[in-house]
């Protein structure tokens, strides 16, 4: 495992870390604390020292499990996200009163005295033009309830605007099927010492190369229920790529790159960009961890391999994905 510094936080974190949206069970499945704990332990054994959670993941159970793990392993770091656990989603959830309550609730749920890094969880664009929201985060930081803050975003423009404030890190979708962040945002983040966490790094599993036109997902899995943005931004599901198009593009990548482990290659691709601090693939069971962590030690992609990714993106993905996010 290799490590990189997460922007202004100063945290030295594993370049393959762990996202915990589906911790303790597949998307839409009941939460299993034994599986969750075993998954966190296996990640730690593989060198992972950073965990991404949110107050709404698994009805708070993901956040609680990460909190317990952090207390038992004080050498690890984490981020939690706030602002989306209450329905219906509203801009009010990002006002100072709500943010203060959410932070207090996360502190209690995780059993901690301070939160390493708190990200606003995909706020609407208008929030980036509401400085009171970010001033409230500054206040929470001065009070010692949070050590750092940042944003998790849907679009590049939101990430760029967020850097008008004292953000330490930005979480953004970046993968072989979502290349636009690397054009301008990455350079700006480096100049502003803002860490980048690459979320949805495997495009909801498309970039494992294992899906086919006939693959079925659980009835409550967002890959069934949110393909067209029925529940939240459709870019969260398969990175906004049409499913059958994504299957075809993934198979072409697998063939042209000559790999039997497209997932690891896709994660290593992300790490080719030095602006990225870490990719945060998820895992619902311990046996999925090593599939991801092996990417940290793979050799760098060759220029011709990087070009293959660009070519496949231009052919299958760019229109319309590049213009929407």
Q: What pLDDT does 24 receive? A: 85
**Phi, psi of 36, rounded to the nearest 5 degrees:** -60, -50
Report H helices in the chain. Answer: 33-45, 61-72, 96-110, 131-142, 156-162, 185-191, 222-225, 243-257, 262-271, 289-293, 303-312, 318-324
Contacts of 55 by beta carbon, 8 Å cutoff, 6+ apart: 63, 80, 81, 82, 85, 102, 105, 106, 109, 121
Q: Is 168 left (phi over 0), alpha (psi -120 to 50) or beta?
A: alpha
What is the rounded CA–CA span in Å between residue 42 and residue 18? 11
DSSP per-residue string spanning 50-86: EEE--TTGGGGHHHHHHHHHHHH-TT-EEEEEES-SS
* pLDDT digit string (tens) for the chain, length 325 residues: 999 999 999 999 999 999 999 898 877 788 999 999 999 999 999 999 999 999 999 999 999 999 999 999 999 999 999 999 998 889 999 999 999 999 999 999 999 999 999 999 999 999 999 999 999 999 999 999 999 999 999 999 999 999 999 999 999 999 999 999 999 999 999 999 999 999 999 999 999 999 999 999 999 999 999 999 999 999 999 999 999 999 999 999 999 999 999 999 999 999 999 999 999 999 988 999 999 999 999 999 999 999 999 999 999 999 999 999 9
DSSP string, 177-211: TB-GGGTTHHHHHHHTT-EEEEESTTGGGGGGT--
Tokens of 153: 């975003």
Q: What's the CA gap between 13 and 30, in Å, rounded?
A: 30
DSSP state of 309: H
pLDDT at 56: 95
d(CA 287, CA 31): 17
CA dist 202 and 280 (Å) reads 9
**Rounded distance, CA 299 to CA 26, Å?**
31
Output the six-digit token pair for 250: 């993934």
**Residue 26 has what pLDDT?**
79
The 10 Å Cβ neighbour count of residue 156 is 22
Q: What is the pLDDT of residue 25?
A: 82
Q: Tell whether domain 3-317 is in CATH 3.20.20.100.
A: yes
d(CA 159, CA 276): 14
pTM for the full predicted model: 0.97
Distance CA(32)–CA(25), nearest Å, equals: 6
| 91 touches 127 (CB < 8 A) | yes
pLDDT score, position 28 = 75
The domain spans of the chain are: 3-317
Of 290, 294, 248, 304, nearest to 271 by C-alpha is 294
What is the rounded distance in angstroms from the CA atom of residue 196 to the CA atom of residue 7? 8
d(CA 320, CA 310): 15
């Amino acid at each position: 495992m290799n490590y990189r510094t997460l922007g202004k936080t100063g945290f030295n974190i594993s370049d393959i870390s762990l996202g915990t949206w589906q911790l303790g069970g597949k998307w839409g499945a009941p939460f299993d604390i034994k599986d969750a704990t075993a998954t966190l332990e296996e990640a730690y054994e593989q060198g992972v020292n950073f965990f991404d959670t949110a107050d709404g993941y698994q009805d708070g159970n993901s956040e609680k499990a990460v909190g317990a793990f952090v207390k038992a392993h004080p050498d690890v770091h984490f981020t939690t996200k706030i602002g989306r656990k209450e329905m219906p989603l509203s801009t009010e959830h990002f006002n100072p009163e709500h943010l203060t309550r959410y932070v207090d609730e996360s502190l209690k749920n995780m059993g901690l005295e301070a939160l390493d890094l708190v990200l606003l969880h995909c706020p609407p664009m208008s929030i980036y033009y509401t400085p009171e929201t970010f001033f409230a985060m500054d206040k929470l930081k001065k009070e010692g309830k949070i050590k750092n803050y940042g944003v998790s975003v849907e679009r590049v423009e939101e990430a760029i605007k967020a850097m008008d404030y004292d953000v330490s890190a930005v979480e953004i979708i970046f993968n072989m099927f979502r290349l636009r962040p690397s054009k301008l945002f990455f350079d700006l983040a480096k100049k502003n010492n803002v860490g980048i966490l690459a979320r949805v790094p495997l495009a909801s599993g498309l970039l494992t190369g294992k899906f086919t036109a006939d693959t079925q997902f659980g009835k409550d899995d967002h890959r069934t229920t949110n393909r067209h943005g029925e529940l939240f931004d459709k870019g969260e599901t398969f990175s906004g790529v049409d499913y059958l198009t994504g299957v075809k593009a993934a198979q072409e990548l697998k063939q042209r790159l000559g790999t039997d482990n497209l997932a690891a290659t896709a994660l290593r691709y992300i790490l080719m960009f030095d602006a990225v601090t870490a990719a945060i693939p998820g895992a619902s069971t311990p046996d999925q961890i090593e599939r991801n962590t092996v990417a940290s030690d793979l050799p760098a992609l060759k220029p011709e391999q990087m070009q293959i990714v660009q070519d496949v993106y231009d052919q299958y993905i760019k229109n319309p994905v590049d213009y929407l996010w």
